[in-house]
Amino acid sequence: MTGSAQGTGGGHQPLHLNVSDDEDGQRLDRWLRRRLPGLGFAEAQRWSRTGQVRVDGKRAKPDLRLTAGATVRLPPLALPMLDAAAEGRVAQRASGAEDAAFLRGRVLVETDDLILIDKPSGLAVQGGSGTDRHLDGMLDGLARPGDVERPRLVHRLDRDTSGVLLLARNARAAAWATRAFRERTTTKIYWAVTLGVPSPQRGVIDLPLAKRPVERGGERMVAVDEGEDGQSAITEYEVMATGGPCALVALKPLTGRTHQLRAHLAAIGTPIVGDLKYGGAAVDLRRIGLPKRLHLHARRLTLTGPDGRRISAAAPLPPHMAASFARLGLDLGMGLNLEIDG
């Protein structure tokens, strides 16, 4: 069995699910969240901590990597979540064709190993609390006839960041792409509209970043001094145009820290327009006609694929940033060719 619940009668019996072939290697906590979309993070952690979840009869930590064919025991509380998930899958199949067509229309480049798509602003890459529609749930729509594996995510973009996102067609290509990002053989160029103009107009931001709690809950990345608990974070940047109180900045991250570009630009006093998390109320520029949305765009990704082919994909500006370009008097025709060397 790969997905049915096995019980022994009664509503208080534990449930047993088997790990399918395409779930091989998944972390237990992520597997639980995918199988039981209604399960909260804290509850999943508690189930593991108290032994209510067992893998092949043994207690299992949340970060355990599952193997195909393993049996996962769940507490009886999981049954209504499984029923809800089944109902959700029926609804998902009804909308699957529409999502597939949507995603096919966002493909920029595809090869036998990789797919580069233009992710729209506002679409989450993966599901989470309160997130029913997300890119990961649509990837079956990019599978080709005869494919034995579904396409899979390789890296991430924030929900509100638009632009080029890399997908792999299979586990082999995903492992290769993950290594390429880790070894920094890929080149990523982002565009941002900032409040204020970075000075100098071309330079490097070399500021370690660390997570810090915020007053209203949650966390954000902040620049810290050398010797503190921060991780090295380096970003090359170049101011490409200015208009009103804003600048169009091209960015090339040399490291891949969470929210690196957002935190770095805020740290030098020129936060991204619409980024209230890092720029506060000042970056809400509706007063001058700019949309209250994050103005950060993954413009271009360049890499050499597993087959040795050099691939470069560029994503057009999202509508809200194009509107801001027009409002600020930025030259869109000129802007479409902006890059940082290399």
pLDDT of 298-313, one tens digit each?
Answer: 999 999 989 899 999 9
| pLDDT > 70? residue 1 | no
Say what the pTM is.
Answer: 0.72
Q: Poorest-confidence range of 64-78, 114-128, 286-300?
A: 64-78
Residue environment code for 107-138, b if the CB has 16+ CB neighbours within 10 A, otherwise e = ebbbeebbbbbbbebebbbebeeeeeeebebb
Q: Poorest-confidence range of 5-9, 167-171, 292-296?
A: 5-9
Share of the chain above pLDDT 90, in %: 51
134-145 confidence digits (pLDDT tens): 898 888 889 888
Which residues lie below 8 Å from residue 73, measured CB to CB, with a gap of 6+? Answer: 14, 15, 16, 53, 54, 55, 57
Q: Poorest-confidence range of 127-136, 176-185, 259-268?
A: 127-136
Of 113, 158, 160, 275, which one is the catalytic site residue?
158
Q: Return the pLDDT at 82.
A: 63
61-102 confidence digits (pLDDT tens): 888 999 888 898 888 877 766 655 444 444 444 456 788 888
Say which amino acid occupies 258: T
Average pLDDT rounded to a whole number, residues 38-59? 83
Q: Return the pLDDT at 339.
A: 58
Is 158 assigned a catalytic role? yes
Q: Per DSSP, which regions of the chain are E strands?
A: 15-18, 54-55, 58-59, 71-74, 107-110, 114-119, 152-153, 162-168, 187-195, 202-206, 209-213, 219-223, 234-243, 246-253, 296-304, 310-314
CA distances from 275 to 39, 48, 194, 258, 292 (A): 30, 36, 9, 14, 9
200-248 confidence digits (pLDDT tens): 999 999 999 999 888 776 788 998 887 678 899 999 999 999 999 999 9
Q: How confident is the model at residue 130 (pLDDT cuts 50, 70, 90)?
A: low
User: Tokens representing 239?
Assistant: 């101011």
Q: Return the pLDDT at 333.
A: 57
Average pLDDT rounded to a whole number, residues 119-126? 92
Q: Return the pLDDT at 84.
A: 56
Q: Return the pLDDT at 93.
A: 47
d(CA 137, CA 78): 21
